[in-house]
Homo-oligomer: A and B are copies of this chain.
């Protein structure tokens, strides 16, 4: 017996295999890079090797320590091979029916620890709080650049050997003049729901999940972590703030430690429960507010959107047609995944 489930936010239908689900323990992670001593010696992200990296743009530092020198706990640097350059034209160019923009933007690396640790799950919550502080500080700074609309704060852990992964825990900030497709769909879906119900769909979802409880993995006073109802991937998790706020960098203020605790627990449950899989997470937030006429078609975001974090482990290869059609098959029911993750000893 299997079900089709509709993601209530963006309308994507997902097949939930309730019948032939594999048991959680049988998922095996692949493509792991290792922490060999050679890479440790050369690791540009380790404390002491600051001169090997591009320019430092932010750091949480011991008082008295100097820029680009040891003494930091989190360090944000420019990317060595940035996707974007800063000095380009911002005017869209039309080529017949095609629209082109120079890829203006900012690409930065957040080094999450001075020590050579691979998985954020192994950092303590205090250290993860520093990482969140770094995200917030950088996003606040990038907001001042009025050409930017969105900062994609995200992390890949062991995701792919192609990706020149460095086995030292780090995340990335990609600031762009456009809103990513998936976030745009969410903004549209959230507004549509609000127009009809005059309530935030995420707030309603949290209320229902807190009453149902089957898909909740963990919660504290401020945050809830759950496996979404129409999960696309096995053990996919969302972390949602209980208090409504559209913007991550504003809403998280005063709750940084609480978010760090939740994120630590989510990643630790994934590591211990599902064989240390590769994963990524992305912070979904409202975009920068811009004046009307500056590409700001979403003027009701404060009321109808709700920031959150999506965590996706890589446990199955996506079938080809999922890329082509956006029609996903998830091989484990979200309720089973959540139940399993809740019971993992960490």
Q: Is there a chain B Cβ closer than 8 Å to A38's Cβ? A: no
As for how many copies of this chain the complex holds, the number is 2
Q: How far apart are the CA atoms of A194 and B339 in the complex, in Å?
A: 48
Q: Do residues A326 and B182 form an inter-chain contact, with CB atoms below 8 A? A: yes
Q: Do residues B281 and A324 form an inter-chain contact, with CB atoms below 8 A? A: yes
Q: Do residues B281 and A181 form an inter-chain contact, with CB atoms below 8 A? A: no
Given the interface contacts A154-B321, A163-B317, does A20 sit within 8 Å of B81 by beta carbon?
yes
Instruction: Classify the secondary structure of A's interface with B.
Output: mixed
When distances are taken between beta carbons in the complex, the residues of chain B under 8 Å from A327 are 152, 176, 180-182
Nearest CB to that of A197 among chain B residues? B97
When distances are taken between beta carbons in the complex, the residues of chain B under 8 Å from A185 are 326
Whole-angstrom distance between the Cβ of A61 and the nearest chain B Cβ: 28
Nearest CB to that of A5 among chain B residues? B100
Nearest CB to that of A208 among chain B residues? B96
When distances are taken between beta carbons in the complex, the residues of chain B under 8 Å from A205 are 97
Whole-angstrom distance between the Cβ of A224 and the nearest chain B Cβ: 16
Q: Do residues B152 and A101 form an inter-chain contact, with CB atoms below 8 A? A: no
Q: Do residues B159 and A13 form an inter-chain contact, with CB atoms below 8 A? A: no
Q: Do residues B4 and A103 form an inter-chain contact, with CB atoms below 8 A? A: yes
Kindly identify, within residues 53 to 100 of chain A, every residue whose CB is under 8 Å from any CB belonging to chain B: 81, 83-85, 88, 95-100
When distances are taken between beta carbons in the complex, the residues of chain B under 8 Å from A8 are 97-99
Q: Do residues A101 and B320 form an inter-chain contact, with CB atoms below 8 A? A: no
When distances are taken between beta carbons in the complex, the residues of chain B under 8 Å from A17 are 83
When distances are taken between beta carbons in the complex, the residues of chain B under 8 Å from A243 are none
Nearest CB to that of A101 among chain B residues? B4
Q: Do residues A279 and B320 form an inter-chain contact, with CB atoms below 8 A? A: yes
Q: How far apart are the CA atoms of A91 and B122 in the complex, in Å?
A: 46
Return the 9 tightest CB-CB contacts between A and B, nearest first: A280-B320, A181-B326, A282-B324, A160-B317, A182-B326, A180-B325, A180-B327, A2-B103, A4-B101
